[in-house]
Structure 1
Amino acid sequence: MTNNFISNETPIVGKLSIISIISMKGCEGITAKIDEYLRAFRGYEDTETYVTHVTCPRFGTGEGKCVIDETVRGHDVYIICDVFNYGVTYKMYGVENHMSPDDHYQDLKRVIAAMGGKARRVTVVMPMLYEGRQHRRNGRESLDAALMLQELVHMGVSNIITFDAHDPRISNAIPLAGFDDVQATYQMIKALVRAVPDISLNKKDTIVISPDEGGMSRCMYYSSVLKLDLGMFYKRRDYSVIVNGKNPIEAHEYLGRDVNGKDVIIVDDMISSGESVIDVANNLKKQGAKRIFVFASFGLFCNGLECFDKAAADGIVDKIFTTNLIYRNPDLATREWYCEVDMSKYISLLIDTLNHDETISSLLNPVTKIKNLVSKLENK
Structure 2
Amino acid sequence: MDYIDCHECKVVDIPVGTLGIIGMRGCEEITDRVDNYLTQWRLERHNIQNPDIEVPGYLLDSFKIGTVCPRFGTGEAKGLIKQSIRGHDLYIIADVFNYGVEYTMYGRNVPMSPDDHFQDLKRIIAAAGGKARRITVIMPMLYEGRQHRRTSRESLDCALMLQELTSMGVDNIITFDAHDARVHNAIPLHGFDNIHPTYQFLKAMVNHVDDIAFDKDKLMIISPDEGGMGRCIYYSSILGVDLGMFYKRRDYATIVQGRNPIVAHEFLGSNVEGKDLIIIDDMISSGDSVLDIAAKLKEKKAKRIFICVSFGLFCEGLANFDKAYADGIIDKVFTTNLVYRPEELRQRPWYQEVDMAKYMALIIDKLNYDQSISELLNPAQRIAALMNRVNEKNNKK
TM-score (norm 1): 0.96
The letter of the residue matching 1:251 is A
Matched residues in 2 for 1:231 and 1:44: separation? 46
The letter of the residue matching 2:287 is G
- The aligned residue for residue 20 of structure 1 is 23
* Residue 171 of structure 2 is aligned to residue 158 of structure 1: yes
Shift of 1:329: 2.0
Q: How does 1:28-177 map to 2 (within 5 A)?
A: 28-43=28-43, 48-177=61-190
Name which of 302, 311, 318 aligns with 1:298. Answer: 311
- Runs of 5+ unmatched residues, structure 1: 1-7
The letter of the residue matching 2:16 is V
Q: How does 1:353-368 map to 2 (within 5 A)?
A: 353-368=366-381
Matched residues in 2 for 1:312 and 1:371: separation? 31
Name which of 304, 312, 337 aligns with 2:350. Answer: 337
Shift of 1:47: 5.4
Shift of 1:154: 0.5
TM-superposition CA deviations, 1:329-376 (whole Å, max 9, x none) = 210121110000000000000000000110000100110000000000
- Structure 1 residue matching 2:253: 3-state secondary structure: coil
- The aligned residue for residue 225 of structure 1 is 238
- The aligned residue for residue 281 of structure 1 is 294
The letter of the residue matching 2:291 is I
The letter of the residue matching 2:20 is S
- Structure 1 residue matching 2:13: 3-state secondary structure: coil
Ranked by relative contact order (alpha carbons within 8 Å, sequence separation 6 or more), the top structure is 1
- Structure 2 residue matching 1:96: 3-state secondary structure: strand
Structure number, greater radius of gyration: 2
The letter of the residue matching 2:41 is F
Task: Tell me how many residue pairs correspond in the alignment.
Answer: 370
Considering only aligned residues, what root-mean-square deviation do their CA atoms show, in Å? Answer: 1.2
Matched residues in 1 for 2:171 and 2:157: separation? 19
Matched residues in 2 for 1:120 and 1:206: separation? 48
Matched residues in 2 for 1:53 and 1:211: separation? 41
Task: After the TM superposition, list the runs of 4 or more consecutive aligned residues in structure 1 that deviate by more than 4 angstroms.
Answer: 44-47
Matched residues in 2 for 1:159 and 1:378: separation? 39
The letter of the residue matching 1:58 is R
* Residue 229 of structure 2 is aligned to residue 216 of structure 1: yes
Matched residues in 1 for 2:205 and 2:93: separation? 26
Matched residues in 1 for 2:96 and 2:327: separation? 34
TM-superposition CA deviations, 1:62-121 (whole Å, max 9, x none) = 100011110100000000000000011111111211110000000000000000000000
Matched residues in 2 for 1:216 and 1:354: separation? 30
Shift of 1:44: 7.3
Shift of 1:11: 2.2
Judged with a 3 Å threshold, the aligned counterparts in structure 2 of structure 1 residues 308 and 324 are, in CA distance, closer, same or farther, namely: same
TM-score (norm 2): 0.92
The letter of the residue matching 2:361 is S
